[in-house]
Structure 1
Amino acid sequence: MSLQATMGDYQTKKTLETFGFLPPLSQQEIYDQIAYIIAQGWTPAIEHVHPSGSMDDYWTMWKLPFFGEQDLGNVAAELEACHRSYPDHHVRLTGYDNYTQSQGSCFVVFHGRG
């Protein structure tokens, strides 16, 4: 495969998040990313959307952001709960940086099949 063909494939692929160009993350890699968000002091937030609306600017928030959350298990449990409630939706985790007022990290944990 030529480099140009590879670049063309990349340019037409829709990516939903930071790690969209990588293979799916393992469960341990997801936990490592949650731990990183918490270690940075960022606020974890969970969002979901049906795949047909995945390129929209706004996704529906699952509960309120987890201000001051220090327990990786709580965030992981809420990701699972959101996925159970909306199995056909994409579910993503965002780490909001309060200092820069921006997203420090954002990645899809579960891909919907809708």
Structure 2
Amino acid sequence: MSQVQDYKSRLSDPASRKFETFSYLPAMSDADIRKQVEYIVSKGWNPAIEHTEPEHAMANYWYMWKLPMFGETDVDRILAEAKACHEANPGNHVRLIGYDNFKQSQGASMVIYRGNTK
């Protein structure tokens, strides 16, 4: 039986925290983020962007960047909004969400930009 690796994630250390599945992988490139946005659009989900300070990232509430982009299918426009949120809040984590209208839940949620963690 293999050993299970302990990810030294602690509440007292914001830099160590993991968020959703993709945070255990290397940071996504712009091309990787584009693929995720394309997937969200292909599923017919409504994209939304949220952000928060690293020390508050474990809380349930993240700040919404504008309103969800209901019905938006232009991948470049979604990416531009994500980048604008990151540039306006460079110290914050930025999360991309795909809302599934039919299941009335999040179909996808991932941190696409990490803020400064000290």
- Find the partner of 2:90 among 75, 84, 87: 87
Q: Which amino acid aligns with 2:48?
A: A
How does 1:18-97 map onto structure 2 within 5 Å?
18-97=21-100
Q: Distance in 1 between matches of 2:114 and 2:69?
A: 22
- Residue 112 of structure 1 pairs with residue 112 of structure 2: no
Q: CA deviation at 1:17?
A: 2.2
Q: CA deviation at 1:32?
A: 0.4
Q: What does the per-residue CA deviation read over 1:79-114, in whole Å, with 9 as the maximum and x for residues that have no partner?
A: 111011100000010000000011111111110004
Shift of 1:26: 1.4
**C-alpha displacement of 1:16:** 1.3
- 1-structure distance, mates of 2:89, 2:46: 22
Identity of aligned residues (%): 46
TM-score (structure 2 length as normaliser): 0.87
Specify every segment of 5 or more residues in structure 1 that has no aligned partner in the other structure, as ranges: none
Q: Is the 8 A contact 2:9 2:18 kept in 1?
A: no
TM-score, length basis structure 1: 0.90
Query: What residue ranges of structure 2 are gaps of 5+ in the alignment?
Result: 11-15
Is the 1:42–1:96 contact (alpha carbons within 8 Å) kept by the matching residues of 2?
yes
State the secondary structure of the residue aligned to 1:66. coil
Structure 1 equivalent of residue 7 of structure 2:
9
The number of equivalent residue pairs is 111
Contact map agreement 1:18 1:106 (CA 8 A) in 2: no
Tell me how far 1:9 sits from its aligned partner. Answer: 2.6
For residues 4-62 of structure 1, the C-alpha deviation after alignment (integer angstroms, 9 at most, x for no partner) is 4x2x2377663212312111111111100000000000000000000010000010000
